[in-house]
Structures are given as structure tokens and as C-alpha cells.
Structure 1
């Protein structure tokens, strides 16, 4: 997924990149301070967020989700306990939570044992929350590498999308990550396109994209479940 942006937000992106360059010991970075960054008026607000600020944005939006809202999550890795708890609480307040997850069979050409998503999905199923619905992206040799949260609140919507998986490594200032938070009226094109995207893959409209939860739950062996908990306890993971 990609979002094309222009205007003052580009300065925020450049400042973030310059910080990485400086941290890496490189001194040569293009001059951008003297350019004009005039504020633009429009129907959307866009905020560039990195690392821990992504985490705070996700939590803020999920805490506000409630009765009548639709929460859509497309995610490659989902393991952060706070986010899982906030998804459950949003469902308790009446939001419909639809989650598309990668079964973690492949990672850039290498075989994977289904961690962390297989045990996390099993735990979410055991919550017994009727407002939480899970589907797998039915991968072959590819990965479902979307990392996007979309909340439709009726008249208003919000998208948080970018590079961050929902794991400790990605959200606790350990990895370099970048997302954009887009807010505005639900009638805006960007929200309509994201809404149509999730609806298409969820319902396998004009193609086969996702599979029922039951299709992959048998892949969660006892050894894999124990490995997941050991990784969670020691933080010795690839995610």
C-alpha cells in the first residue's frame, strides 16, 4: 500500500530521514530548510509518525473506537499485547473488528513456523468476542505484507498505514519505522479506496484472497505454541 502526499508533510519526512543520516555518521544531506512549506487547506489531515509515535497513534484511535464503528486491520505480524487488548475492548464497546493476518508461512523466500500470528489468532479466538472476526490471507509463495489500520466511524474515518508491524520490535523504538495517519470525512476518495480494498479481499470479490480461520488453525502444533511463549518471555524473536 502506498499513499502519495505533498506539502508541509514532506518536511517532516525529510527531518526524520536527516536524523537517521546524522545518527549513522553521515554529514551530507540535501538542503531543504530554505524551501517553501506553505500550509495547505483541504478535507484531509495527514501526520507523519515514526517508531513510538506510531504506537501512540494506534492506541489513541483504538481507544476511541466503539459502538457502530468498523475496525479493519491488515497485518503481517501481530503480537503486541496492548494492541490486542485494545482491539478486544473496542469490540466490547460495540465496534466490529475485522482482522486479516498473514499465516507467517514465508518470509522473503524462507519457511516460517507460523509465529507469531498462529498462536495470537488462537488466543483471540478464545476470547470468545463475537465482534472480532479473523481471516487469513491465503498466501502461496508471497507474503501478506500490508500493515494498515482503518477505522470507519460513519461520517469520519482514519487510516494508519506504513512500515510498522504491530510488535514490540517495531513499536518500542527498536526498529526504524514510518507510518502516516490520515483523517477526514469518510466520503473522501482515500477512505473509499481503502474500504473497497478490505471489502474485496475479505469477501474474495473478483478473486481468491483470504481463507477462513479454520483453514490454518491446524498448523498450530504444541511445539510451535511453546516456542511462541518462550519467545514472548525472552524477547528472542525475529519479529
Structure 2
């Protein structure tokens, strides 16, 4: 009898192990939901603008800030008459206190949406967001509740439909824990992200490290459609971060809208974003096409701008491919400037090193990865990655942060010949952000180097890099140089396995 029990136990353990391994493999390689990993065509664009939020220390030692991104988001919401679609990763006031002079971004966006919905009853307003804002169902969000009560559609992204960022854990979670769901009225554990208490199930889902990390806005603006793609979150405790954004009007805004329909669809809200916007847009364009040139797009001058300025919407691995192509396509003498919160993607790091070796003028500005909402971090992954670049002769500087983060995700390529190329958006330069794991959106702008958006992006990078007029925005490489081989291989292991938050 004892032998039978032992043999049965062995079979059960073996079955459990095989089931776990098969689930981990399936969750790592399962098909993506339809409409993800988007690489749209380059589209002619109008009214293109580069926007930035900057926080820096002056020569007087005082903190200064200059913000533009959410001012523009609020302006665009306030004028919309037909449609507002936002997809924002962090949409909460977790971790913010009045003592820190944080801007109440989540409340401002909530109020702007509610006020516009009340002023224009026929408006369709949709917010797509990530379950982290309810700690995966463990707490109730007052902002999301107020939006729903005002008639605004709130779509919570169905993260289990995505591939596993952390398959070592997700293989187990999908077998043992997903079926139990969650509740916001039975919390007994401290909420590590904010006030209140959450269930154990919140933490079990958090360990999957999956996210809808997108940050976009699409609205109607007069007779055109306008999109905005950014690295910034409407998250109060993130309101001092450095961030970047690109605003544009034209057909690419509808490509952006199509990418959001895909998320709404696989999250069970397929009808949230109306499918009639293409017809509305095309109709408006046909009406304007019949107007005399003096009334249409400011005549030949505006038509020339459209021909020279093009925007491409990219999501998930489409962003990776565009970044790699931009770096690989850089020739000796070209300028390549990178500013990013997390740099860890192995293929991209090797491409940057190779570009520098063949004579491309590369500069890399990195967050030192020391500040995370009051928690001091150990510098991974940027300090090991920065060490590798520095050893290869790539100039590296660190953002001079004091509690805030250098949260931009930006690559600017200015060749000696041909159009400049700017890629900005939500995606950090890591495996999780670029290899079809998180949901991400970035945009690629092609325009001549003298176009305002390109010159503004270049000026932003130069301010951060060169510290003009007494600014203390960045520090030399030696300030955060990290010679530790242990941390270097720790970063490599975390990047390869997904056992990390980057």
C-alpha cells in the first residue's frame, strides 16, 4: 500500500511539473490578440509638435519645472465634440502627498472628461487603462467610479490575454490563482502602492509583471483628427518626471485609434470605440478637398508641409524594429541621441555600440535608476548597461534626479543627408517593452532637420545633456559609474528571464 501511495504521489508531482512547464511555455509564445504589434504606414501629418515636461535644479539649488504635456491633453479634451479616447497606464493618486507639490493630474483629467461629457452630451468618451489602478481589483478607484457614473466608458485591459512577461511565475498563476478573480472589499494586506488594504490575490497577479503601458490620446479637432503619444502618466506622484510627447493631426491619428480598438476588443469592450470615425474623417477631408486652395490647408505651403512631415504609429515589437532600423541605418557622421528611463534590450545595446564604432556621433542620456516614489533603487538596469556603453566608447551621462525620474523614451537621429527621424512614446528600451509582452505605443516622425518638432526635440536633448545657463539637468558618467560584475550579471539574468519590473 505504501508503494502505491508513493508511486501515485510521484505521478501527481510529475503531472504538476509538466503542467506548469507547458503552461509557462504556452503563456510565453501564445498568439497575440488581433491588432497588436502594429507597424502602420507612414502618413502625411499636420500640426506636429514635440512637447516636454522638464524638472531640473538651478544654480541656486532650487528645483524648477516646465510642463507642457498635460496642459495640451487638457486643451484637446476641452474642445472635443465627437470622440475622446485615452489609453493611460497609471491613472491614480497613489503615493502622492500635498507636501511634495505634486500636480493632481488624475483628478484634473477626470474632471476634464466629466465636464466635457456634460457640455457635449453626444460626445463618446472612452478611457482604457491598466488594472494596476485598482491593484488588480483589490481596491476601488474613486476616479474610475466618477467617470463611469458620468457615462464615460472605462475599459480595464484584460492582461491575461497578453504573453507572459515573467513566465516562471505566470505558468503557476494561470494554473492556481487566476480562476479566483479578486474583490475590493476583503483586503487584509497593506497596499504597497497607496492607501487601503488589498487581498493576497492582488499581489499574486502583480507578480506577473504584465501591463498595458500605453499612453495616448485621440480626439476630433475641428474637421481633423488629432493624436498625442507620450511617455507621461496622469499619475500624481509622477507629475515631476521628465517626459516627452508628440502631437500630430491627420490619418495617423486614425491608425492610433485602430490600435486602441484592438485593446478594447480583446478586453471585452469591442463596441466602446465607434467604427464610424473613418467615415467621419474621410467625409470631412472630401468636403475640404472641394474648397478653393485659399481655404484649404493654407494652400500650397501647407501641402508642402504635409509632403515633408510623415508620422508612423508603432506598437509592441513594431517599436523595436523601428529603433533597430534607425540605429542600423545611421551612417558615419550622423548624430544619434537617446534619452530613456530604462535601457536593457540586448539587441539594441549591441546596435548602439556598433553604430558608435563605425563613426556615428552617439550620445546616451540615462536615468540613474535610483528613485522610485520614495524608494531607493540599486541602479539596475541602467548603470550596468551604461557601463557597457561607456566601455565601448559611447558618451553616457546621467539625469540629475532628486526624487523624480528621467522618464523620457526618445531616439533622435539626424543624418548628414536626408530626413531626421524621431521615435517617442511609452516604450522603454527593454525586453518587456519591445518584445510583444507589454502593450506599448510609440510614434516615428520623419521630417527635415529644420522642422519645429525636430528642432524642439534636439533642443530638449541638448538642455538635458549640456546644462546651459546654470541648469543642473545631468551629471557625467563617473558620478554613477558602477563597476560591479555581480550587478551586471544580475541585470542580464533579470532581463533574460523577466524576473524584474523593468
TM range (shorter): over 0.9
Partner of 2:473: 209
Partner of 2:130: none
Partner of 1:35: 280
Contact 2:432 2:498 in 1 (8 A): no
Structure 1 residue aligned with 2:310, among 45, 49, 53? Answer: 45
Contact 2:413 2:420 in 1 (8 A): yes
| In the alignment, structure 1 residue 189 sits paired with structure 2 residue 457 | no
How has the CA–CA distance of structure 1 residues 28 and 208 changed in structure 2, closer, same or farther, with 3 Å as cutoff? same
Contact 1:66 1:91 in 2 (8 A): no
Q: Which structure has the larger Rg over C-alpha atoms?
A: 2
- The alpha carbon displacement at 1:110 in A equals 2.9
- The alpha carbon displacement at 1:2 in A equals 1.5
| In the alignment, structure 1 residue 106 sits paired with structure 2 residue 371 | yes
Q: Which has the bigger relative contact order, CA under 8 A and spacing at least 6?
A: 1
| In the alignment, structure 1 residue 4 sits paired with structure 2 residue 247 | yes
- The alpha carbon displacement at 1:200 in A equals 1.5
The answer for unaligned runs of 5 or more in structure 1 is none
Partner of 1:135: 397
| In the alignment, structure 1 residue 79 sits paired with structure 2 residue 344 | yes
> Quick one: distance in 2 between partners of 1:56 and 1:109?
35
> Quick one: distance in 2 between partners of 1:232 and 1:42?
41
- The alpha carbon displacement at 1:89 in A equals 1.2
> Quick one: distance in 2 between partners of 1:158 and 1:233?
29
Contact 1:136 1:210 in 2 (8 A): yes
Aligned length: 235
For residue 232 of structure 1, give the secondary structure of its aligned residue in structure 2: helix
TM-score (norm 1): 0.92
The answer for unaligned runs of 5 or more in structure 2 is 1-243, 287-302
How has the CA–CA distance of structure 1 residues 108 and 19 changed in structure 2, closer, same or farther, with 3 Å as cutoff? farther
Contact 2:333 2:359 in 1 (8 A): yes
> Quick one: distance in 1 between partners of 2:496 and 2:257?
37
Bigger CA drift: 76-85 or 151-160? 151-160
For residue 445 of structure 2, give the secondary structure of its aligned residue in structure 1: strand
> Quick one: distance in 1 between partners of 2:336 and 2:456?
15
| In the alignment, structure 1 residue 180 sits paired with structure 2 residue 443 | yes
| In the alignment, structure 1 residue 21 sits paired with structure 2 residue 264 | yes
User: What is the 5 A alignment of 1:86-101?
Assistant: 86-101=351-366
